[in-house]
Amino acid sequence: MKYDALAKEIVRNVGGKENVNGLSHCVTRLRFKLKNEALANTDVLKNMDGVVTVIQSGGQYQVVIGNHVPEVYAQVMSVGGFQEGAAEEGSGQKTSLFNRFIDMISGVFSPTLGVLCATGMIKGFTALFVTMGLITNTSGTYQILNALGDCLFYFFPVFLGYTAAKKFGANIFIGMAIGATLVYPTFSSTMATAEPLYTLFSGTIFESPVYITFLGIPVILMSYTSSVIPIIISTYVGSKLEGFFKKIIPSVVRTFLVPFFTLLVTVPLALIAIGPVSTWAGQLLGEGTLFLYNLSPVIEGLLVGAFWQVFVIFGLHWGLVPIALNNMAVLKYDPILAASFGASFAQTGAVLAILLRTKNVKLKSLSIPAIISGIFGVTEPAIYGVTLPRKKPFVLSCIAAAVGGGIIGLMGTKGYILGGMGVFGIPSYISPDGMDNGFYGAIAAIVISFILGFILVFFSGFKDEEVADGKSTGSPRSTLVKQETVGSPLKGQIRALSELTDEAFSTGAMGKGIAIEPQEGKVYSPVDGILTTLFASGHAIGITSDNGVDILIHVGKDTVKLKGKHFTPKAKQGDAVKKGQLLMEFDVAAIKEAGYTLTTPVIISNSGDYLDVIETEQKSIDYKENLLTVMI
């Protein structure tokens, strides 16, 4: 599999599958819930090829992968033997209430993000087509596209019932059944056509007509379509009841009696108490956020715009998602997240400036895909790979995003659909009445954020000679040589470094490379260069190629203890050597008889200086055959 090796290394370096309580993913990140984060090799993961960075926030251990995270996630799930929907066991680490809240919100909402964006884009473009006169709102085309775009948000309680049950370790179909009951169409038609039996809380803000009762208890019917808070709370309560019934019901009838009693208690409770109370709470939350927005939409826009990328880094943006969704359901629009719309464009403009100004080949190669991702609203590659390691461009992009947020606040821009990101999010700001000042404010904000981010970084400059690990890549050879081919110093069977028992090599701490199980006791030079290191024990050789690639050949494990016995050097430290030149001989049989293994790592010890180290796909190899390709 394409990501099999990466998945194995990720599982190994998060502390092994035994250290994993749960795993989910969003657009760019694997979100681990670990039993003990101290067991994870964070530095190794950060420097691993295929991993952008690691963030520990919100009670989660987040491994940032990039746009191909779904494929890596699937492979990690397979390698680790993790189960979809498996309950997360309690962690041995205590986390704050805020961290637990962020973890819960991300776990519930992140699985829906892809489809939520897709359906939102469809609805947004449908509104755009109507506004432009391409279709009418009475045509069959409109009805189908509108139904497709509206389906997830309309039936959101069903989808969230699934993800919430999964997050709370409950039966996912129980969660879906609770959500489906909340949006059951008969309840809506009853409210629209029937006469109320009586009214509760008359004369207060909670005044509610009662149309039906349950065992004589009044049921306050409400519209739960598009709602988020009632289903999450109801599913949480249902998960606790399910656990209770599992303990008291005999296993022989548990399969059907546990769901039976769980639903029989949870659903009436949801309709009678949880739903109305949480709906009122949601209405108050919506009015509260709108009140703060109305105090000064410009200041709100400046603050959200400025700090949005910081929120993304720590995963704190999930804390605003339920507020936005609640506003969509209650107010039919959201002004809060709208202020963040310019942030991805500010980040993209900053990276474009870096791309045009840098002379660093590696930085250019990182910037191009980051710009493409940023245009579509995914900024993690830009943040972690380009701007944040250089600090100043990141700060300047935040300033540009703040200006964009201020413009959005000034123009009264509101999001009417929680849809696509980046350029695909533009139709989300079209009012039901058409393109208004708010829509044009959104366009102005993203254009100005992009241009300002570009100008600030282009003319303010940045440290071009430094990359994320702080090592210089400014040497002339970086622009002259594209790759270095490292030949095989041994003849034998190929082994992955991850198979070695020596953690210094298996974790990649010594550098990227590969291992060989030698069939013969000879070591040849893999490149033209200088024999920079020859240990007195003869068991290890260091070579620096003419292009500056440092190669370490370490014959066997713990063979240093032989103190040179059974090893015969054929060259001296400091010698200029040629590719294919014999450097050393060793007695295979004698070393094995002494109780040592001879699996030999061949490591690029300065692999952090290069774009990539590509391993051979052969299972066995002969002297001088291509073993590793170093992308310079």
**CA angle, 526 as apex, 522 and 532 as ends, to 5°?**
95
How are beta strands 600-604 and 550-554 bridged, if at all? Answer: antiparallel
Task: Give me 613's structure tokens.
Answer: 């180290």
- The alpha carbon of residue 283 and the mean position of all alpha carbons in its chain are separated, in whole angstroms, by 31
The 10 Å Cβ neighbour count of residue 296 is 12
- The alpha carbon of residue 415 and the mean position of all alpha carbons in its chain are separated, in whole angstroms, by 24
Strand stretches in 389-528, DSSP E? 483-487, 492-495, 512-518, 522-524
> What positions carry a catalytic annotation?
26, 554
Distance between CA atoms of residues 448 and 325, nearest Å: 27
For 23, what's the count of Cα atoms within 13 Å in the CB-facing half-sphere?
27
The 10 Å Cβ neighbour count of residue 220 is 20
Q: How far apart are the first and last CA of the chain?
A: 26
Distance between CA atoms of residues 412 and 566, nearest Å: 80
C-beta separation of 549 from 611 below 8 A: no
Q: Would you mind telling me the total number of residues written for the chain in this entry?
A: 632
Distance between CA atoms of residues 155 and 143, nearest Å: 17
Q: Give the DSSP H/E element, type plus range, for residue 60.
A: strand 60-64
393: which residues sit within 8 A by CB, 6+ positions away?
350, 351, 353, 354, 386, 387, 457, 462
**C-alpha to C-alpha distances, 151 to 105, 109, 120, 147, 232, nearest whole angstrom:** 22, 16, 10, 6, 19
Q: What is the DSSP letter of 415?
A: B
The DSSP annotation for 15-40 comes to T-GGGEEEEEE-SSEEEEEES-GGGS
Q: Which of 354, 458, 344 is nearest to 401 (CA)?
A: 344
Task: Give me 109's structure tokens.
Answer: 């909402």
Longest dimension (CA), the chain: 100
Distance between CA atoms of residues 350 and 344, nearest Å: 10
Q: How large is the C-alpha radius of gyration of the chain?
A: 30
**CA angle, 300 as apex, 294 and 305 as ends, to 5°?**
150
Number of DSSP helices (H) and strands (E) in the chain, helices first: 22, 22
Q: Which long-range contacts (CB under 8 A, 24 or more apart) does 79-88 make?
A: 79/4, 79/7, 79/8, 79/11, 80/7, 80/11, 80/17, 80/20, 80/23, 81/17, 82/17, 82/20, 82/23, 84/166, 85/166, 85/172, 86/22, 86/169, 87/169, 88/21, 88/22, 88/33, 88/167, 88/169
Task: Provide, for the chain, the percentages of residues in helix, strand and coil under a 3-state DSSP scheme, each rounded to the nearest 5.
Answer: 55, 15, 30
